[in-house]
Structure 1
Amino acid sequence: MNTDTEHLLLRRAVELAAANVRGGGRPFGALVVLDGQVLAEGVNTTTSSGDPVAHAEAEAIRAACRERGTLRLDDAVVYASGEPCVMCQALAKAVGVAAMVFAVSSAEAAVAGWPFSEESLRLHAAWTAAAGGYARQGDVPEAAQPISSWATAQP
């Protein structure tokens, strides 16, 4: 996929994250794309749903599977506003997603105010070392803004 298209898809993921924050949700959005076509979008609904696994990437993958009537998303790519966690990367691999591209790294998210636990960071580092570049960062200026907005609004 060319860099202009990738940039537009990542911008859309960041826009979804920003809209989710404005609606009271957490600052993450994602899309599942196959052959240049968006199959589904998702936002983090963990707080509103009470479901700790309702991350944006998981919601987008679930919606894409439902839309296609299959549990496989072979050769699809997930575009995410934030660096996907271990759970979301494992889910994507399990359903055949070819790659994940994200706008904001975990380190950038932490600087912007996302509260990572030490255990989460340890698991993420181990997974990243083992996964060998499955998820990579794209270039989207000001992509951390939804996280900063969310962090500022927290009590």
Structure 2
Amino acid sequence: MPPTPPHSGPADPGDADLAHLRRSFVVATHAAKRGNAPFGAVVASPSGTVLVEAGNRVGETGDCTAHAELVAVRIASAKFSPAELRKATIYASAEPCVMCSGAIYWSGIRRIVYGIDAVSLRRLHGETANATDVELSPRQVFAASPHDAQIVGPLLVDEAALVHRVRAGTKRS
């Protein structure tokens, strides 16, 4: 992964950040129990109020775009104003893919906190670290934008990896 762009901004996660991130792991576990890939997302307000929780729904719906972050963004965008979303944080159990990063960008959310990074996740599933899929990190997506964003992660990687270890062989979809 390239160096962190300046507008990713360093930030020390607080206790609330870690609690919301851990909640995304629980949401990911629930998604896996419903036959989906084990990914979860939580959107929270600056005060820490949970606005939306969503798990991956690809297995349930057959919709290849139903990643946890995208489902969360769809729900949040329908319920909250752009001004509210600009102040919100999305917590993702794993580093958002390029599609989800784009959706987060378009939603106006400018803070992302995530668990396991994409390279570690691929290694966990036995894939090569330099897989040739469309792998742009959220930092790369936001670096190409005119908007400042704060991207924090990877965090709690061992905890984030647990649901994937339990469900070995699952590929991200």
Q: TM-score, normalised by structure 2?
A: 0.75
Query: What is the correspondence of 1:1-155 to structure 2 with a 5 Å cutoff?
Result: 3-35=14-46, 36-68=48-80, 70=81, 73-113=85-125, 118-121=132-135, 124=136, 128-129=139-140, 131-132=142-143, 134-140=150-156, 141-152=158-169
**Residue segments in structure 1 that go unaligned for 5+ positions in a row:** none
Cα deviation 1:10-41 (Å, max 9, x = unaligned): 00001111121122211100011112211101
Q: TM-score, normalised by structure 1?
A: 0.83
Cα deviation 1:117-138 (Å, max 9, x = unaligned): 51223xx15x644534753315
Say which structure is richer in helix.
1
Q: In 2 relative to 1, CA 137–114 (structure 1 residues): closer, same or farther, beyond 3 Å?
A: farther
Q: CA RMSD in A?
A: 2.5
**Residue segments in structure 2 that go unaligned for 5+ positions in a row:** 1-11, 144-148
Letter in 2 for 1:118: T
Letter in 1 for 2:151: A
Alignment: residue pair count: 150
Contact 1:114 1:151 in 2 (8 A): no
State the identity as a percent. Answer: 28
Report the alpha carbon displacement of residue 78 of structure 1 after superposing the two structures with TM: 0.5
2: distance between equivalents of 1:61 and 1:87?
12
